[in-house]
Each structure stands twice: as structure tokens, then as C-alpha cells.
Amino acid sequence: MNKKILISGLAYALLAFTSCNQKPVSVTDTIQADSKTAIVQTVSGKVAGYIDKGIVNFKGIPYATAERFMPPAKVKPWEGVRSSRSYGPVCPINVSSMILSDEMEFAQQHNFGYMNENCQNLNVWTPAINDGVKRPVMVWLHGGGYTAGSSHELPTYDGLNLSKSTDVVVVSVNHRLNVLGFLDLSGVSDKYKLSANVGMLDIVAALEWVRDNISNFGGDPGNVTIFGQSGGGGKVATLMHMPSAKGLFHKAIMQSGAAGAFGEKSMTQQVGTAILEELGLKSADVDKLKDVPFEKLLEAGNAAIKKVSDRLPKKGGLMGMLGWAPSNDGEVIPFQIGTPEGNAIAKDVPLMIGTNKNEFLASMFNPAIANATDEKAMEMLKQKFGDKTDAYIAAVKKIYPNDTKLSDLLDIDLMFRPGTAKFANIKSSVEGGAPVYMYLFTWQSPILDGKLKAVHCMEISFVFNNIARNREQSGDSKEAYALADKMSRAWANFAAKGNPNVTGLPEWPKYSEKDGATMFFDNYCEVHLNYDKSLMEFISE
């Protein structure tokens, strides 16, 4: 044998042996998935999960089943052990409506998953199973309005790190959306009297599953927090107005998604009639809607919404900003937001609520803002505010004195903040009600030349302590990890105790309309009182 080859081979083997033994892999970092690991009994049968980094994962567990347009029903029990190790099907959506731009897809890293109308399934992350410990449970409701999204649409939704770092049980939910979850056929047939809100009834069924099963997953069914962002925040607000959800959750967190008003039954019923017209069907043919392919059904439903909306006065929206939404049907949702009866349903539920500084108005969504000169920025401001431009500039500069470029004043969020403040004011004014805590996420992403700023969805990776899972959005800085540690602990402590105060944050007081106490989340966190009162008054004039 050639000596050179022999020496070379020995050297390679020695290097390989040394490398393998230099940094042994921790047992807690390995994946454990076998026939004896992570087996849990549910009311429907046994499920098998897996262990990753010491956290027990279960994915795609069915919590309900349903026919199209009908309320959810109990899952048929199964025999043996059901493998629940991969995400289940998600509600069908129009994917093209979710693609914003190459840069936004780079930042958000969408995963649209496998679509199927049998989408009532959920995921669980827990530090331990069957151990008798009652941990706080946090149930995540995804964004996408009531039209799109899923439990694993974004990498930041993964619950492993939040569960591991704060000792909570995290649950995320898939449910029916768009025309499948919110088409009101109650005016056509009494058979479908609840169809306008079956998407929300799915979530109630998921919360009932949590109540009935979560103790075996290491969670406390008596300490459940619902939290969601954007459309998920709206779903939280909706659940707070649903008698059927009362008692199934005990705390609530709304991130960039305060609800304005539910669709009125007199209007949503018109959509049900209009979709039949779009498809050339009569009222007697309503059952045929069950056989219409989803793409055709959604197209007809969207056309029906437009037809009905065009008949309405231009002021105010029918189905909400993002399209499909719940209906004030008098049964599932008997009261409008802001009514005394509606406020009373979740009177005893503590609320954390807030928005991001830039939301949808960040320059990422409007490239003209990113590099606008002061002259161009002033022109754009005048187009928007007219003779009130100087007053707007003064109001914003008072809040954000460090925003020195006029272009920075173009993308301050005025879309979510007013509704959020209104909801918080209503909730905090309920006599004898539970406390409210307000926040504003102001941290600015350095990615893509700073275009992302504190854009819509940016805070999610901090709440879930998932900076490493979505570095494309928030970067990989020590400041980002430090803020994620604070925010995830604050969210988890609120879930545990109804109070978000934790070590590392200044004292976070309860919110009231009078003092407007708001925690600013940034590299330096601080509380401001009535920070944007003058701006809110300005835009309400």
C-alpha cells in the first residue's frame, strides 16, 4: 500500500474521531420518536408525539370534524395509537393573495402547508406529559384575517422555545376560514342558521378539547390564555363576546388586531343570497353549495361580498378590512362590541393588548417611502393630511422625537392603533372588570436596509422567543435575543398570573383611558403615559 495514502487515511480517521468526540451532543438536543415515547391518552384515543430539545411535541391532533357550513362535531374515537408528529391539513385559501413581494417573503418565510377542508386540528408543545403538574396553557390563534393563514404559516409560530424557556404549554389551532367558515346562509335555510360563524365555533371546539385533554399534556385547564396577532387578535376579541366560549379561557392577549364591529346579520345574510345568484342557484338548491369546488366557491363568495358592499353606504365596511369576518347573528354572537351585554361576557378576563409602531405602513409595503427626500415626504404628507399637515407633524414628533427624517412620519401606524385604543378604553372602563395592560412594539429591524422597521408580525418572533427561527426578519443580534427573552417572559407571566411584570422590565402599570399607561418594547423598554393622546384626538377630528 502507498505509505502516503495510508498516512492520509489514518489522519482522516483520527480527525473524524477527534471531531466526533470534541463536542458530544446533549441528550436533550436529540430527537426522540419511537413507539414508547410521548404517548398521551385523549378523550378520542391515544396520540404519539416526539421529543425535541427536551420539549414534547404533538402536531395535527384532530379536535373536531364538520360538514361544509355546519357546526363542528366530536371526533370519532380511534383504536390504537394515532401518530401525531407532523402538521395536519390547513384550511384552503387563495395563496396568491398572501404573496406580497419577494422581500416580504424573504422576511416572513411563509409555509402554506397542505390544504384540505378537514382542517380541525391542533398542535401542542409541552415540557412534560402525564406528570400531574398544572402549567399555564397558551392557545395561539393565527393571523391572516378571517380569510387566510394557518397554525404553522410562519416559522415564528413554533411553540418549542416559548414552552422550553417559560415552562408553559403552547397550543396552536387550525380552523375554517373565508367562505368555508363565515358564509351566512341563515337567510336561505334554517339548516344553516349557524353557518356565518362556524369558523369561530371551530375555535370554541378546540378550546373544549383543551379543557378536556390538556391536563394529560402537563397543562392546567383552569388557566388558559388565548393570544393571537392580526386576525388572531380579532379572533380573541370575538371569543370575548361569545357566550359559548365563556369559561374556556381565563386571560386574553390581542396583538395588532382589535376588532371594530361584527357584520350585521341583515347584511351578512345578503351575501348568502348573492352567492347563490353568482352560481346560478335558487334558494331550494342551497345544499348544492356543498359540492361546489372550493376555488369556484371562494370566487363566487368574494364576488357576492363586493356586490353587497357596493349597495351599502361607502362609510363603514360590511365584512371588515380583510374580507370575511364573524356576524352578529344573535345566537353565536348575540351582542356587538362595546355594548354592556357584550362587555359583561369577558368582564373577569384580564387583557394584554397592543400594536407595532409601523404595522402595514412600513416602507416595506410602500417603497416610495423608503428613500423619500424631505421634499417628497412633505408632498406625500400634504396629500394625506392637507392643511392639517403641520399639526400632524407636531403631534408625531412629540411622540417620537428621534424620528428626524420626514419620511419616518409617513409610516407611523394609524390603522390598528385607534381601534386598539378604543377596545382597551372600553374594556378598562367596565366597572369591577379585570385589568388591562397596553404595549407598543417599537423595535426597528436592521434587515433589508431598515425597510421592515417595526412592521406587522415583527413582534411574533419576540413573543415566541424565536429569533433564531426567523433571522431573515429580525436579524441575529444580541439585542434582539435580549428583547425576546423579556417579551416572552412577560407574555408567559401574564398567562400564569394575569400580570406581565417580570424582572428586566420597568414596572408595568395597569392601563386606563385616563393615564394611558403603555409599555414601549425596544432595546430600552420604558412606560409612557398618554403617549399618543394628541395624535388620536387629531385623527378622530
Q: Which residues participate in catalysis according to the annotation?
A: 230, 359, 456
Q: Which CATH number does the domain 1-357 belong to among 1.10.357.140, 3.10.270.10, 3.40.50.2000, 3.40.50.1820?
A: 3.40.50.1820
Q: Do 358-540 and 1-357 have the same topology in CATH?
A: yes
Low-confidence ranges of the chain (pLDDT < 70): 1-28, 98, 313-323, 361-365
Residues in a beta bridge with 359:
455
| φ, ψ at 482 (rounded to 5°) | -65, -40
**pTM over the 0.85 mark:** yes
Rounded Cα gap, residues 286 and 275, in angstroms: 10
DSSP, collapsed to helix, strand or coil, labels residue 333 as coil
Which H, E and C letters describe 92-133, residue by residue?
CCCHHHCCCCHHHHHHHCCCCCCECCCCCEEEEEECCCCCCC
Classified by CATH at the fold level, domain 358-540 comes out as Rossmann fold (3.40.50)
Q: At what angle do helices 198-213 and 231-239 cross, to 10 degrees?
A: 70
Nearest to 181 by CA among 63, 267, 61, 93: 93
- pLDDT digits over 1-12, tens only? 444 433 344 343
Q: Is 145 left (phi over 0), alpha (psi -120 to 50) or beta?
A: left
Q: Is 305 left (phi over 0), alpha (psi -120 to 50) or beta?
A: alpha
Q: Residue 364's pLDDT is what?
A: 62
Domain range list for the chain: 1-357, 358-540
